Amino acid sequence: MMSTLSATPGQTVGPFYGYALPIAGGNELVPPRTPGAIRLHGQVTDGAGTPVPDALLEIWQADADGVVPTETGSLCRDGWTFTGWGRAGTDGEGRYTFSTVKPGPVQPGSAPFIAMTVFARGLLNRLFTRVYLPGPHLADEPLLSSLPVDRRESLIAVPDDDGLRFDIRLQGEHETVFLRFPGHMP
């Protein structure tokens, strides 16, 4: 007797991120009290403005001199090697935080940014965005210049008393601009 089985889905939608993927110290690219350390923090919300309590965020960035690290060992924090990579989950209110450094521009005249990827329940694929640091260097940034003026602000972190705030809105009014790269399936 032969039976037909259903194919296993290509990706199982969580919310499993909070159980298996966060790593101890994964959100600390540098220890919080390191000279030059900044706090990048914010909240992830859905289209209705409801906090997403089980999202997972990853960041990649250059160091303060604009050098993209090529060191191995991103998952094994040693307290002094800056690997430019971090991972943080959101809490019950959709909040996240990273301890890192302000990245320098990777090319002369370019605007420094932090690349961010968002994983969350209901997303069949990850979302890519950028976190630009505020300042005059944004005026000639090609990506920002290609966007309508009212959409640019969704990619720019806002200074506050705790560091730099970057909120992520997954859809709806004030949705964060998400990027698509060659070979990336929507």
What is the DSSP code string of 5-48?
PPPPPSS---S-HHHHS--TTTTBSS-TTSTTEEEEEEEEE-TT
What are residue 150's phi and psi, to 5 degrees? -70, -10
pLDDT attached to residue 165:
98
Give the DSSP per-residue string, 120-147: -TT-SS-EEEEEEPPSGGGTT-HHHHTS
- Specify the range with the lowest mean pLDDT, choosing from 39-43, 103-107, 123-127: 123-127
In one letter, which amino acid is 105? P
A 10 A CB-CB count for 59 gives 22
pLDDT tens-digit series, residues 59-88: 999 999 999 988 776 666 676 778 899 999
* pLDDT for 15 beyond 70: no
Q: Which two tokens stand for residue 138?
A: 């944004």
Please report which confidence band the pLDDT of residue 186 belongs to, taking 50, 70 and 90 as the band edges. Answer: low
Q: Which two tokens stand for residue 55?
A: 């999202």
Residue 16 sits at the vertex; the CA angle it makes with 126 and 29, to the nearest 5 degrees, is 65
Please report which confidence band the pLDDT of residue 108 belongs to, taking 50, 70 and 90 as the band edges. Answer: confident
Peptide bond into 159 cis (omega under 30): no
pLDDT attached to residue 28:
92
Q: State which H helix or E strand residue 57 sits in.
A: strand 56-61
Between 2 and 131, the more confident residue is 131
* Cβ–Cβ under 8 Å, residues 163 and 101: no
Between 149 and 70, the more confident residue is 149
pLDDT attached to residue 20:
57
Q: At 150, is the secondary structure helix, strand, or coil? A: helix
